[in-house]
Amino acid sequence: MQTSKWIRKLALGLAVLGAMVLSGRRAEASEVFPGAIQEAANMPCVPLCTLCHTTNPGNATSWQQKKLPTQLLLHGVKIGNADSLKTAFAAYMNDASIPAADRQATLAQIQAGKDQNGMDICGPSYGCGAHVAKQEAMPRDLTGPLWIVGAVVIGALRRRKRAA
C-alpha cells in the first residue's frame, strides 16, 4: 500500500517536471534585433550584440546603458519586437528634444559600423559567421521529453491495471 502512494507521488512529480520542461518560458532577447537595427539605420553590416550589450551574444545581464539603447527604450522599443525597434529608432531620429547634431552624429557612427565609443560593431565579413540570413528559429525537439512523459503515463496505467 505504501509503495503505491510513493509511485503515485513519483508519477505526479515526473508529470509536473515534464510539463515544466515542455512549456518553456519565452525568451526576452531577440535574434532579429541586429537585422532590424541594420535596416532601420541603413547600416552596411549586421551589428554585433555589443552595440547594446557588453558581451556577444548579449543577454539580460550584459545590457549596458549606452546612449542609443537607452534612447530606444525611451522611445518605445519592446523587447523581442523588431518592428517596435524600427519605430523607436525613427522616433529617436525625429525627436526635436535631442539636438540634431547629436542625432546625426549617432547615425553617422552607426552607419560607419562603430558604437558610441568608436568600437567596431560589424560582424564577421568572411568565414562561418559571414552569412546572416533572416529565418525563423528551428522548432524545439521535444521527442525525448515526450517519450519520457509517455513512458511514465503508460507505466502508471499498467500499474493501475495490475492493482485492479
pLDDT in tens, 57-98: 777 676 666 667 777 777 777 776 778 878 888 888 888 788
Q: What is the average pLDDT across 48-58?
A: 75
pLDDT score of 29: 46
pLDDT score of 137: 66
- Cα dihedral 127/128/134/135 (nearest 10): 160
Judged by average pLDDT, the poorest of 1-10, 56-65, 136-145, 148-157 is 56-65
Of residues 50 and 151, which shows the higher confidence score?
Answer: 151
Averaged confidence pLDDT in the chain: 75
Give the residue ranges of DSSP H helices in 49-133.
67-74, 82-93, 100-111
C-alpha radius of gyration, the chain, whole number: 24
Residue 125, all three cell numbers: 565579413
Q: Is the pLDDT of residue 15 over 90?
A: no
Question: How far apart, in whole angstroms, are the C-alpha atoms of residue 31 and residue 158?
Answer: 45
Q: What is the average pLDDT across 152-162?
A: 88
pLDDT score of 128: 54
Q: Which 8-state DSSP code applies to residue 62?
A: G
pTM over 0.75: no
pLDDT in tens, 97-138: 888 888 788 888 888 888 777 778 776 655 555 555 556 666
Residue position matching grid coordinates 495490475: 162
Question: How far apart, in whole angstroms, are the C-alpha atoms of residue 89 and residue 67?
Answer: 12
Share of the chain above pLDDT 70, in %: 74
